Amino acid sequence: MDYFTSTTVALSYDQAIEKVTGLLKDEGFGVLTEIDVKDTLKKKLDVDFKKYKILGACNPKFAHKALQAEDKIGVMLPCNVIVEENEDGTVEVSAVNPVASMQAVDNDGLQPIADEIRSRLEKVIGKLK
């Protein structure tokens, strides 16, 4: 099982971040965290890296359900979505597959939650194509 779904978009890096953030909102997700990997690696290691941002997306309704089913599931939250600019200038957006993530946890109560989140994240990626 693939641990992520991904697509190349016909948008600039900044446009892709704006678009994916809006699409996540449409599916009930908020972006709790934004990690600018390029900036962080430059500051911490003084190395150059491509434009790469990790968006920590959370759907509060489903996060609550997951936490009720498994209180330690917070170590696997939020759902990460990345936006990266490749060397050739193309921009790619990828989202975690929560079904694959939840296979590491032995709790059948998480399966329907992970299925629903996967479906919503796939909708976001699908609307970017």
Domain CATH code at residue 123: 3.30.310.70
- 55 CB-near residues (< 8 Å, 6+ apart): 17, 20, 21, 24, 31, 33, 34, 80, 81, 82, 83
- 103 CB-near residues (< 8 Å, 6+ apart): 1
Whole-angstrom distance, CA of residue 124 vs CA of residue 105? 25
Q: What is the pLDDT of residue 109?
A: 92
Whole-angstrom distance, CA of residue 7 vs CA of residue 127? 10
Q: What is the mean pLDDT of residues 12-34?
A: 97
Q: What is the mean pLDDT of residues 97-114?
A: 91
The residue with tokens 């597959």 is 97
Q: What is the mean pLDDT of residues 29-33?
A: 97
Q: Is the dihedral of CA 37, 38, 39, 42 positive or negative?
A: positive
> Is residue 65 predicted with pLDDT exceeding 70?
yes
Task: Of 123, 120, 126, 128, give the one whose Cα is nearest residue 60.
Answer: 120
* CA atoms in the 13 A half-sphere facing the CB of 60: 4
> Is residue 66 predicted with pLDDT exceeding 70?
yes
Q: What is the mean pLDDT of residues 99-119?
A: 91
> Is residue 1 predicted with pLDDT exceeding 80?
no
Q: What is the mean pLDDT of residues 48-74?
A: 96
The total number of structural domains in the chain stands at: 1
> Is residue 84 predicted with pLDDT exceeding 80?
yes
Q: What is the mean pLDDT of residues 21-37?
A: 98
Q: What is the pLDDT of residue 36?
A: 98
Residue 100 CA: distances (Å) to CA of 42, 55, 90: 32, 19, 27
Whole-angstrom distance, CA of residue 100 vs CA of residue 81? 15
Reported pTM: 0.93
Residue 61 is part of which domain span?
Answer: 4-128
